[in-house]
Amino acid sequence: TAKSRGRGGIAIYQSSAHSVARDMFRMEADLRKAIERQELELAFQPYVNLEQGTLAGFEALARWNHPERGMISPADFIPIAEDSGLIVPLGRWAIETACMQIADWRKRCPNAADLIVGVNVSGLQLAQDDIVGAVEAALANSGIPGSALKVELTESAIVENPELARQIFTKLKQLDLSIAMDDFGTGYSSLSYLQQLPIDVLKIDQSFVAGMLKSDDSYKIVTTIIALARNLGMRTVAEGVEEEGQADRLRALGCDMAQGFYFARPMAARGAEKLLETGLYSPSRKRGGKQIID
């Protein structure tokens, strides 16, 4: 064997590749159980109206607290869910859970009446699941209007099958949902999709926001995306805002909304509810309001 040859390069490679595969396999089995046992949770990250400095809504982000491994990032388990097909039940769970949470807030917090919650949807859910049926069922079960829900899709999800995306988006719009293109600027979408598809919001990828005060190129890209969205009648959300300077500049550039650690980190439903209750959602809050939670 390679190992017995002494240098071990191949053997080490083989054994580590094997353990990676085993690890993935275990993680997939664990994820399947976690979905069945309802061990996943949704965290909620606020996004704010930059002009008014008020809370505009939340993005729902999946969280997996593994019994032995601790918190696993969605960046690690979403790809496994996509490779294994588990993204279909996971995606349904996210839509249902977000709708039930919205219904609960709407029942108990007057400030939640106009709240919009964004749920991330993978491209595979468009192809492999009846997402429109899943949304319809979740709205019916929770009793919330479609206007309280936004779906977030990346460019790549759309590029894979633009005609399918168009059909599905059109039906989601009939249910009154809004549609956001996530991580905009990082994929390979043709600008013509922006015109052909009923997209309401462009989310400016956090890589451009992170660089916008340091790199002239990033700054120009951010400026251009805001102008593009405005010209096409879409709204903008800047992702990954971590500094006051970024928020100030984005506001001056006419970016509508912002999301990021500067305003608030993703939080448990209870924390999000506190934000709703404290009245920070009130439009009378002073313009350009700062951090809404620490």
Q: Based on the shown chain and the rule CB under 6 A, indicate whether residue 94 belongs to the binding site for ligand C2E.
A: yes
Q: Is the CB of 152 or the CB of 256 nearer to Mg ion?
A: 152
Q: Is the CB of 76 or the CB of 113 nearer to ligand C2E?
A: 76
Q: Is the CB of 97 or the CB of 120 nearer to Mg ion?
A: 120
Q: Pick the stretch among 107-115, 188-196, 220-228, 233-241 that binds ligand C2E (CB under 6 A).
A: 233-241
Rounded to a whole number of angstroms, the minimum distance from the CB of residue 257 to ligand C2E is 13
DSSP state of 204: E
- Please report, as ranges, the residues that interact with Mg ion according to CB under 5 A: 120, 152, 182-183, 239
Q: Which two tokens stand for residue 46?
A: 């606020």
**What's the burial of 112, exposed, middle or buried (CB within 10 Å: 0-12/13-18/19+)?**
buried
Q: Is the CB of 61 or the CB of 213 nearer to ligand C2E?
A: 61
Exposure string of 254-279, with b = 16+ CB inside 10 Å and e = fewer, is ebbbbbbebbbebbebeebbebbeee
Q: Based on the shown chain and the rule CB under 6 A, indicate whether residue 78 belongs to the binding site for ligand C2E.
A: yes
Please tell me the distance from the alpha carbon of residue 96 to that of residue 30, in angstroms, as a whole number: 21
Q: Residue 68: CB partners within 8 Å, gap ≥ 6?
A: none
Rounded to a whole number of angstroms, the minimum distance from the CB of residue 18 to ligand C2E is 28
Q: Pick the stretch among 70-78, 168-176, 230-238, 279-287 that binds ligand C2E (CB under 6 A).
A: 70-78
CA distances from 256 to 52, 57, 88, 230, 248 (A): 10, 13, 32, 10, 12
Q: Based on the shown chain and the rule CB under 6 A, indicate whether residue 139 belongs to the binding site for ligand C2E.
A: no
User: What residues are paired with 235 via a beta bridge?
Assistant: 201
Of residues 173 through 192, those in contact with ligand C2E by CB under 6 A are 182-183
Could you tell me the maximum CA-CA distance found in the chain, to the nearest angstrom?
A: 75
Alpha helices by DSSP H, listed for 37-154, are 74-84, 87-108, 123-128, 131-142
Looking up tokens 């080490």 gives: 12
Rounded to a whole number of angstroms, the minimum distance from the CB of residue 54 to ligand C2E is 18
Q: Based on the shown chain and the rule CB under 6 A, indicate whether residue 160 belongs to the binding site for ligand C2E.
A: no
Of residues 1 through 40, those in contact with ligand C2E by CB under 6 A are none
Q: Based on the shown chain and the rule CB under 6 A, indicate whether residue 120 belongs to the binding site for ligand C2E.
A: yes
Of residues 246 through 265, those in contact with ligand C2E by CB under 6 A are 259-261
**8 Å CB contact between 88 and 259:** no
Rounded to a whole number of angstroms, the minimum distance from the CB of residue 119 to Mg ion is 8
Helix (H, G, I), strand (E, B) or coil at 104: helix
Rounded to a whole number of angstroms, the minimum distance from the CB of residue 154 to ligand C2E is 7
Q: Which residues bind ligand C2E (CB under 6 A)?
A: 45, 61-62, 73-75, 78, 91, 94, 120-122, 152, 182-183, 206, 239-242, 259-261, 266
